[in-house]
Structure 1
């Protein structure tokens, strides 16, 4: 991403940002305007074309995300945008081109500063809102399915929350790889889950796990569980010998008060214990940021995986699951809608007028 010349392009940029001031309801989000400093060496200014609401922001507003920064801060886990200025050492030819990036925070803004090394090109012809649906969701789904669980064609998996942002992407990637999918969702989303190629099961059914076992009596190759809580044991029991449980969230405890790290640490401990059992099964907690201490390797792997997912989107293999498009100024409404659990896919935030 970096060039060999010190040439840079920069101009005063005024950014509109959505600020999370503390533990508040969605309508407690604040809007601020500030002048961004000129991009430093290896940085660019990225104009936001699309960002979105993930489960991380829903946890952050409760102060429940595992390693969120102290309040106040600008949320926004990922972004698709256009480079408008480059700092010293960055190729000026990047200006005007569209990229995707994972940021963890900071993307709920009209403009943001970002390291050029974190940019992943978006293929020509792919709309910003479509690309946004598969940035953090796509990387998470791809790495869990292909890097962590390594499910082979012909296998069977269970996806909890198959109508959600990560879940719907995971279903599509698995079906493309020749994998059978059983997906949980509320009854109103079953048609959508079927359209993605999965067999739906009602997550509100008290016999949900028994129904899944009847669909896969020999056990499944992997379970992808973002819920955690007591049901995690049931997910573990669905696995055949040699199967893999991938836990990637603690939605069951999102409304609990207390230490934000405790639910995750409890899951870690349980998964670690299960890995010592002599049954050939394995259990893992997926964190997209694992391995970031080896920054170059982390960036290369993330770029490779997101490039794969964006290419599948461009080729029509993946269908973007957009629940709604809401202007940045109405970010509170976007967060509230995402938390309502009434929509399928991802709530996308766009610049607006």
Structure 2
């Protein structure tokens, strides 16, 4: 099969397009014919070696954790999926090796759910990691309830925009923080925007929520994480997905995990029209390095997705 891989840590320059062995599937996995895979910040971090203390890398590594595609072979113990099912997944295992930037990926069933019927393969590939991060932070860590006020950082980004929509679906009022270019997007999602400015951020939030916010989801860390302490209500809850210092500040640090039930819940929200994904740019598989460069440059107002042309699975290597 054709795939993107790297044999040493580095930036986009280490990515190579070529032939790799088609992955084998275990009893509890399925072989997915990839139609699309999304680029995420963690892909760049893993590729640069920043996760080396957490995850072993079995070189050559095929990068990527987000995927959508079609099941072409279920494992012998799999009853959840059949040949021809359209699925999406956050296919993260406990090591780096067989990722999603390839024609085929072996995916444990715990990482998959059925693709939303009203989403394209490109849109559904962009949903799992960002959507699960937001869903698990809001439901499990922050336990957001109806009529609460929630502050979401980087609310126009992948995780942030999903968090705004999920919190709104829960019945919460949402204040969304973003740079100036993201303000319109935040309004479109039904949140009240504030602009990142170190000298006025706290005052902006306090003007909207004089008694403080009930819950805050930090996605950027640093200065604005610390300033968030000044806008929390007395019993306010704080979670960060970006900065471990949140623990010392009395909050919680959250790392997303694959969860089939949570992923299925995201699919239901999408089918109900309560959750959408914006794809800014797509690239063919052989141009994955360019996709990574575009993602690094930022400013795209949406997700970057790599597409894989459909071929007859019977023709696979």
2:172 maps to 1:186: no
Which of 127, 149, 155 is the equivalent residue of 1:156?
149
Partners of 2:31 and 2:104 in 1: CA distance: 7
- 2:99 is aligned with 1:99: no
Query: What is the TM-score normalised by the length of structure 1?
Result: 0.79
State how far apart, in whole Å, the 1-side matches of 2:299 and 2:286 are.
Answer: 22
Which whole-Å CA distance do the structure 1 matches of 2:110 and 2:170 have between them?
Answer: 30
Paired residue total: 303
Specify whether residues 274 and 186 from structure 1 end up closer, same or farther in structure 2 by C-alpha distance, changes over 3 A only. closer
Structure 1 contact 99–120 (Cα < 8 Å) conserved: yes
Partners of 2:76 and 2:61 in 1: CA distance: 27
TM-score computed with the length of structure 2 as normaliser: 0.87
Q: Distance in 2 between matches of 1:306 and 1:130?
A: 14
Work out the CA distance in 2 between the residues paired with 1:113 and 1:179.
38
Q: Distance in 2 between matches of 1:142 and 1:20?
A: 31
Check conservation: 2:66, 2:126, Cα contact below 8 A. Answer: no
Q: CA deviation at 1:93?
A: 6.6
Alpha-carbon distance in 2 for matches of 1:345, 1:92: 31
- Cα distance change, pair 241–98 in 1 and its aligned pair in 2 (3 A): same
SS for the counterpart of 2:194 is strand
Q: CA deviation at 1:38?
A: 4.4
2:253 pairs with one of 282, 285, 294: 285
In the TM superposition, what whole-angstrom CA distance separates every residue of 1:84-143 from its partner, at most 9, and x where no partner exists?
123333359711111122123511111011223433122434322222232111111111
Runs of 5+ consecutive residues of structure 1 not aligned to the other structure: 1-14, 251-263, 276-282, 290-298
Deviation (angstroms), 1:331? 1.0
Q: Give 2:103's aligned residue.
A: 110
RMSD: 2.2
Partner of residue 324 from structure 1, selected from 269, 281, 285 = 281
Gaps of 5+ in 2: 311-317
> In the alignment, what sits opposite 1:346?
303
Matching residue of 1:73: 61
Aligned partners of 2:70 and 2:84 also within 8 Å:
yes
1:86 paired residue number:
74
Q: Deviations over 1:8-56 (max 9, x none)?
A: xxxxxxx222123334232331123123254333332111112101121
Which residue, out of 261, 264, 281, partners 1:304?
261
Native 8 Å contact 1:329 1:352 kept in 2? no
Per mean C-alpha deviation after superposition, the further-off stretch among 56-65 and 73-82 is 56-65
8 Å contact from structure 1 (residues 42, 88) kept in 2: yes
2-structure distance, mates of 1:69, 1:103: 16
